[in-house]
Amino acid sequence: MAMTGHAPTGDSKTTKRRAIAAIAMIVLLGAIGLDTKVVRIGSDEDARQQAFNPDVFGRTEFPRIRDLVMERAPAAAKLATDLVADKKAAIDSYGTMAGAFPVLPVTLTGTVGEGKSGIFYVTVEGLPDGTKVRVQTGPAINGTELRDIPGDIDFGAFKNQIEYQNVGSGINRAMSAEVLSDLDRDALPGKTITVTGVFKLINPKNWLVTPVALEVKE
């Protein structure tokens, strides 16, 4: 006796495959939903997930760095005398080692001389003969002395060397915005200024000071 009925058509097979695929997609989306954490914009979790911002870091850290330098900085003449008398003791008393060279805080008052690219010579009384002092006034501020002076902003806290270098630039920009934004650089030569800042002691007779405070005497 002959069997009757119909074999599944191509359309029914296609429909079945689509239904299976749809079910699989629903299961997958459900699993993703269970594993997804909703983060509210502006929350602490959101801040942690954002890319590192060196300018935010700089604005946060600069006030602490400024206060530390202001508190620790000796007068230029005293610092110079102490360095001549016992360099190691002076570094231990005032400075922070940053690699091979120490970073030292200092406060000074002197007369502004010639300058180039925002870096001005300053004549300071009481320093040993031949000691030259220069002060960075921007707009561009170079170096990582502000980053290095606290001694607790460590490379290991950052993702890589580029990020660590950017930290120094972010702090420099924060300082410049707070301390140097209204400075009339063209009018500086011949003026008396009081500066508190930091410098890297590479050559004891050549100080390049990055300020944390700068006042022009009228």
Q: What is the pLDDT of residues 36-50, one digit of tens each?
A: 445 455 555 445 446
Q: Is 125 exposed, middle or buried (0-12, 13-18, 19+ CB in 10 A)?
A: exposed
Position with higher pLDDT, 49 vs 79: 79
Is the distance from CB of 137 to CB of 120 less than 8 angstroms? yes
* Pairing mode, strands 132-136 and 206-217: parallel
Q: What is the pLDDT of residues 139-157, one digit of tens each?
A: 999 999 999 999 999 999 9
Q: What is the pTM of this model?
A: 0.77
CA 183 vs. chain centroid, Å, equals 22
Is the distance from CB of 166 to CB of 191 less than 8 angstroms? no
Q: What is the pLDDT of residues 197-209, one digit of tens each?
A: 999 999 999 999 9
